[in-house]
Amino acid sequence: MRNITLIFLAALLATTASPQKPDAIIGTWRLVSFSSPDSTGQQRPVWGEHPAGLIIYTSDGHVSAQLYDPRRPRLGDIANAIPSTTAQASYVGLYTYFGTFSVDGGAHTVSHHVEGAMAPDWVGSALVRAYRFLGPDRLELRVVTDAAGRTRENGSILVWERVRG
């Protein structure tokens, strides 16, 4: 019985906590959860229990990320309004950017080098994320630095699930 238990534990560890090569990050990932620390440091959901988003890492080093709060109200006709200040509040709850990425396998970080973004101030910045694989198809990214280059001791945590054909 002891041998069966040890074999089961080894198999469980291999599927849930196995270290993966940094290139395992390549692919398309769907956002599963997005949490940030509250005033006590406790992680809380940012956009409810079912945030929306995709992040894509290509084999030639490009990244594209779109994250949305699915609870945002529909805009209707004000989407085309000028000036757009009426619609501006509806754009809260969205992060989008693209660029290139680099992986530091030793430090377990991935840096997103922003070339274009919803917020022009992000362009030229490096968004550093600590990564770890929670399984073969689960990826956790923890915010290490934000678009302003500030280090976050207790940053937001985003969990992604690999999209399969």
How many structural domains are present in the chain? 1
Q: 75 is in which domain, residue-wise?
A: 2-162
In the predicted structure, residue 5 carries a pLDDT above the cut 60: no
- For 14-71, the three-class secondary structure string (H helix, E strand, C coil) is HHHCCCCCHHHHCEEEEEEEEEEECCCCCEEECCCCCCEEEEEECCCCEEEEEEECCC
Lowest mean pLDDT among 10-14, 59-63, 118-122, 152-156: 10-14
What Cα–Cα distance (Å) separates residue 143 from each residue in 77, 138, 152? 36, 17, 7
The label of the residue with tokens 């699930």 reads 161
Lowest mean pLDDT among 68-72, 81-85, 113-117: 81-85
Question: Can you give the CATH number for the domain in which 142 is found?
Answer: 2.40.128.640
Identify whether the C-beta of residue 139 lies closer than 8 Å to the C-beta of residue 20. no
* Between residues 74 and 122, the one the model is more confident about: 122
Give pLDDT, residue 9.
37
* Amino acid, res. 163: V
Structure tokens belonging to residue 82? 């000028």
In the predicted structure, residue 49 carries a pLDDT above the cut 80: yes
